[in-house]
Amino acid sequence: MRTIDAVAEILKREGINILPSFPTTPVIEAAAAAGIKPIICRQERVGVGIADGWSRVKNGKPAGAFAMQYGPGAENAYAGVATAFSDAVPMLLLPLGHPLDRDRVFPNFSSIRSYESVTKFAEQVNQPKRVGDTLRRAFTQMRSGRPGPALVEIPVDVGNAEVDPSVVENYRPVKIAKAQANPEEVMAAAKALLGAKRPVVQAGQGVLYAEATPELIELAELVQAPVYSTLAGKSAFPEWHPLALGSAEAAMSGTAYLFLREADLVFAVGSSLSRHGMATNIPDRKVIIHNTADTIDHNKSYYADFPILGDAKLVLRQFIEACKDLLTGKARDGAAVRAEITKARDAWLMQWTPKLTSNDTPINPYRIISDFMQVVDPDTAIVTHDSGGPRFQLMPFYRAGGPRSYVGWGKSHQLGTGLGLMMGAKLAAPDKFCVNFMGDAAFGMTGLDFETAVRSGIPILTVVLNNNTMAVDTEHLKTSHALFRTRDLLGNYADVAKAMGGWSERVSDPAQIKDAIQRARKVTESGKAALLEFVTAEENTISHHRAFRFD
């Protein structure tokens, strides 16, 4: 048995049955021979995105994996890994390595050295007999505490070397340890939560990875506290729940903005509480209860009055029991807070009604989002934005259903990431209607990988909002655009999709939005990748949402 054959067999034991990849690496052939299906992408960044989307939807059980060649392959994959690292996604990266006698010799690219800042674990298999131990450490680290990418470099000569089959025979899938919080600290925090006049709960991505949505709903209803989600945590709390405030990031719902502004206490659960341009920055003078699985987050950006370390599911159960003891069986009346949420949401949406119902041409992008929500049940779908306008437009208004019905991302926000994420999501949840919204600039970055979805039989829907410009950069490219038209973009992306073998339509009439979405969904249900290109107006989204953000 060669080392790469052992790698493939260990991947199978860890539950991995697909391998997004790009040649040339012998790991692809070894995986195929072991019964793992390779998904050959057009570029490495999208392949990493496929593994990323798979891991998010599967909660890392099993984790996604991506294999690439040394040199150019490892170099091109970097941006996708940076996104996964910033969003704490557990996934395995398998770059081929240069032969050991050329390892780290200039000008050869070293994956180990170069990826250390964007991976949670990076190790080289420098002897065949170490392959089992190295992979066991990788799978453990990527899923323990705060999740993150793990990299295992396989030098080409080590990969093709013989290894004793006992390496595989002795390998057992790893088990992950989880911890509760200190009970006394939980009780003190629970007293503060119940004593607050206007508490709000921030649901982070840790709620999703801990599969703690039921506990979060139970606690929110017990204490009658409104809940909003972070960018990466969107769908951790169903946004159709009466206590849901929606999501909050650089552009947040008006409801979340109002309640967060007026709150006297914020309970951040499963959240890193990072201060970031794409994050929910919390206003000053709030009491903060901060639950995270990694001590690196405590007091990082905000002072934590009650730092609570532990798995979100276990910690929420501790809070539920503590609050029950403190309430001594007296149910809280939540009628007033629910009515306030409804009133605030209705008032906010009323401000946006002209855009959400606009009959203008070119089409207003907010009208597309509104019509999409009217014809798509969020619990039957998995939706994601892309960088730029689509993220700012979609995040505040789209009301996600249950866990992983939305994939939020963006602390490291390369244009075009959403396409790979939705391919991975569809592979992980084939019964879901998987849709990525992207702009024309994002399509320019990764759009040719729509052909990967066509060729590989991954029936996603890509929605391209084509306004022929880089609208988000309106304020940054004023002079250059006036002199040299630097924001202008050109393209008919429906034609590009057809040329790549997919189904597509180009829509310019707002009256056709709903019918087009329903036609596209039927196409995906028949097993074919689809693309809808909407001819849209330029919307200066950041200016519209500036009133609803905390910088």
Q: In this structure, are residues 76 and 111 in contact, taking their beta carbons and an 8 Å threshold?
A: no
Write down the number of H helices and E strands in the chain.
Answer: 24, 18
Cα 222–228–233 angle (5° rounding)? 110
- pTM for the whole thing? 0.96
Angle value at C-alpha 265, between 261 and 268, nearest 5 degrees: 95
- In sequence order, what DSSP letters do the residues of 440-498 get, joined into one string? HHHHHHHGGGHHHHHHTT---EEEEEE-SB-GGGTTTSHHHHHHH-TTB----HHHHHH
Rounded Cα gap, residues 160 and 162, in angstroms: 7
Q: What is the pLDDT of residues 47-57, one digit of tens each?
A: 999 999 999 99
Indicate the residue among 169, 202, 233 that finishes a domain. 169
Do 205 and 164 lie in one domain? The reply is no
Are residues 105 and 146 both part of a single domain?
yes
Residue with token string 């057809």:
498
Please state whether beta strands 287-292 and 306-309 pair in parallel, antiparallel, or not at all (unpaired). Answer: parallel
> Can you give the CATH number for the domain in which 199 is found?
3.40.50.1220
The answer to whether residue 480 sits within a structural domain is yes
Neighbours of 351 (CB within 10 A): 12
Query: pLDDT band at 545, cuts 50/70/90?
Result: low
pLDDT band, residue 345 (cuts 50/70/90): very high
- Class of residue 281 by CB neighbours under 10 A (exposed 0-12, middle 13-18, buried 19+): buried
- At a CB cut-off of 8 Å and minimum separation 6, what does 198 contact? 259, 262, 263, 264, 265
**What pLDDT band is residue 111 in, cutting at 50, 70 and 90?**
very high
Compute φ and ψ for 400, nearest 5 degrees: -70, 160
Output the pLDDT for position 541. 63
Structure tokens at 430: 């084939």
Neighbours of 460 (CB within 10 A): 28
Whether residues 236 and 124 share a domain: the answer is no
Instruction: Supply 513's token pair.
Output: 């939005």
User: Contact at 8 Å (CB) between 529 and 460?
Assistant: yes
Same-domain check for residues 158 and 193? no
Angstrom CA distances, 315 to 22, 28, 87, 269, stand at 41, 41, 21, 9
Q: How long, in residues, is the chain?
A: 551
State the CATH number of the domain containing residue 99.
3.40.50.970
Query: Is 284 a member of any domain?
Result: yes
Is the per-residue pLDDT at 249 higher than 90?
no
| Same domain flag for 307 and 421 | no
Residue 349 lies in a domain: no
Residues β-bridged to residue 149: 91
In contact, 449 and 496? CB cutoff 8 Å: no
Three-state DSSP at 257 gives helix
How many Cα neighbours within 13 Å face the side chain of 374? Answer: 12
Is it the case that residue 543 has pLDDT exceeding 80?
no
- If asked whether residues 227 and 308 sit together in one domain, one would say yes
Task: Report d(CA 55, CA 89) in Å as an integer.
Answer: 7
CA–CA separation, 300 vs 551, rounded Å?
17
Which of 114, 142, 169 represents a domain boundary (last residue)?
169
Q: What b/e readout covers 445-455, taking b as 16+ CB neighbours within 10 angstroms?
A: bbbbbbbbbbb
pLDDT at 551 over 70: no
323 within a domain of the structure (yes/no) = yes
pLDDT, tens digit, for every residue of 134-161?
999 999 999 999 999 999 999 999 999 9
| Least confident range of 81-85, 217-221, 390-394, 542-546 | 542-546
* Inter-residue contact 123 to 133 (CB < 8 Å): no
Cα–Cα distance list, 474 to 26, 78, 479 (Å): 46, 28, 10
Assess whether 106 and 191 both reside in one domain.
no
Cα–Cα distance measured from residue 178 to residue 173, given in angstroms and rounded to the nearest whole number: 16
pLDDT in tens, 166-221: 999 999 999 999 999 999 999 999 999 999 999 999 999 999 999 999 999 999 99
pLDDT greater than 60 at residue 546: no
Residue 370 banded pLDDT, cuts 50, 70, 90? very high
Whether residue 471 has pLDDT greater than 80: no
pLDDT for 519-531, tens place per residue?
999 999 999 999 9
* Peptide bond before residue 72 is cis, with ω within 30 degrees of 0: no
pLDDT digits (tens, 9 = 90+) for 277-326: 777 789 989 999 999 999 999 999 999 999 999 999 999 999 999 999 99
Q: What is the DSSP string of 268-330?
A: EES------TTS-PPPSS-EEEEEES-GGGTTSSS--SEEEES-HHHHHHHHHHHHHHHHTT-
Q: Is 96 helix (H, G, I), strand (E, B) or coil?
A: strand
Going by C-beta distance under 8 Å and a sequence separation of 6 or more, which residues neighbour residue 82?
Answer: 118, 412, 414
**Where does the pLDDT of residue 490 fall: very low under 50, low under 70, confident under 90, or very high at 90 and above?**
confident
Same structural domain, 265 and 310: yes
> Which tokens belong to 42?
């057009």
> pLDDT value at position 396?
94
Helix (H) or strand (E) holding 443: helix 440-446
In a domain, 177, yes or no: no
Domain end: 309, 340, 371, which one? 340
In this structure, what DSSP letter does residue 69 have?
Answer: -
Whether residue 346 lies inside any domain: the answer is no
Q: Is a pLDDT exceeding 70 seen at residue 431?
A: yes
CA distance 472 to 93: 33
Give the residue numbers spanning the domain of 198.
183-340
237-264 as b/e: b if 16+ CB within 10 A: bbbebebbbbbbbbbbbbbbbbbbeebe
Domains of the chain: total: 3
Tell me: pLDDT of 346 over 70: yes
Cα–Cα dist 48/64, whole Å: 9
pLDDT over 70 (residue 123) = yes
Strand partners, 229: 203, 247
Same domain (yes/no): 162, 195: no
Residue 64 has pLDDT above 90, yes or no: yes
- Residue 345 belongs to a domain: no
* Same domain for 130 and 95: yes
pLDDT at residue 429 is higher than 90? yes
- What 3-state DSSP class applies to 480? helix
Q: Identify the residue whose tokens are 């951790």.
A: 236
SS3 331: coil
Report the pLDDT value the prediction gives residue 99, as an integer from 0 to 100.
Answer: 93
Same domain, 82 and 204: no
Confidence at residue 547, expressed as pLDDT on a 0 to 100 scale? 56
pLDDT by residue (tens digit) across 398-419?
A: 999 999 999 999 888 899 999 9
For 96, the token pair is 């081929």
Has residue 510 been placed in a domain? yes
- Which helix (H) or strand (E) covers residue 192, if one does? helix 183-195
* One domain for residues 431 and 513: yes
Q: Which tokens sit at 130?
A: 């170490």
- Mean of the per-residue pLDDT values for the chain? 95
